[in-house]
Amino acid sequence: MPKTTVTTPIALAPLAPLPPSWVDALVGPSPSVSLTDALDGTVEVRTGPDFTHVAITIPQAHTLPPDRLHEHVRDAYLSVAATLNAQQRHPVRFWNFVPHIHTPSGADLDRYMIFNGGRFAACEHWHGSPNDFDHTLAAASGVGVLGEALAIHCLAADDAGEPVENPRQVPAYKYSRRYGPRPPCFARATRLARQVNGAWWLLVAGTASICGELTVHAGDVEGQTVETLDNLDALLAAAEDKRGASDARARFSSLRVYIVRPDDLGVVRDRIAARYGEIPDIEFAQSELCRADLLVEIEGIAEL
């Protein structure tokens, strides 16, 4: 992955519905590209020597009624599955960008919960019983974006990655109905099966101030940032234990940081720097998160 120069952000830009730039680097400079119309939207597939990037855009998703949103998300994930099955590649990371993510969509439901219902239905069809989710699901992020389109991006590899869970948290796919009729289907991280640039990569999912399954430090951005960093450290430790590594500690080489309130940028940035020092590639963006009481979320790449 090319090194980037870290600059001090002057303002927090709104999040674009795209995965981090390192995805392009993995796919390669001259992938084969196919673009098709489907799902009342578009499906773009970029295939490189070792990785595939599937991008699905559903326009005007913000106006879809709950049942149609559920169907579109289910069908989008099944389209990803069909594409990867044809290529004999395996999903290792998802990014989901949901417009109007907190808009009410029925009794005690919001649009993220409807999204989760569609994703769960697809994952059951794709991976089998929820009892199999512990070894089949890939890491993912799910955040809110401005605009009207829903975007789903999937990074896939020749070999299935190894899911890693955080011992401080309930696996997301086992959440109670407190967070919707169907839980979000993703692993806390995916360890790639092959080295990249001479290192084992851990693709870390969107991580926030959640202990067990509950949000902690509501309203306190510094407390939430520290809790999030504690969760990241616990996840790295769990990945190290699974690998049996004892000679070196995992370290982050890339981070993307989602922040709800622009005025919180300085606090979040300072806490990250105090914990991890200089990180070669770090991006800050303003975004709504999957829960209205969360203020910061962090994802990235760690080298084991």
Active centre residues (catalytic): 297
**Could you give the strand order of the β-sheet that contains 162-164, starting from the edge strand earlier in sequence?**
162-164, 189-191, 201-207, 296-303, 251-259, 281-286
Alpha carbon separation from 61 to 45, 67, 249, 281 (Å, rounded):
21, 12, 42, 32
Please give the full DSSP string across 198-260, using - where no structure is assigned.
TB-EEEEEEE-SEEBTEE-STT-HHHHHHHHHHHHHHHHHHHHHHHT--SS--EEEEEEEEES
SS3 of 87-120: HCCEEEEEEEEEECCCCECCCCCEHHHHHHHHHH
Phi, psi of 216 (to 5 degrees): -125, 155
- For residue 46, give both structure tokens: 């970029």
- Residue 99 CB contacts under 8 Å (≥ 6 apart), including other chains: 61, 62, 111, 144, 145, 146, 147, 148, 149, 150
For residues 131 and 39, is the Cβ–Cβ distance under 8 A?
Answer: no
Torsion, Cα of 243, 297, 299, 158 (10° steps): 90
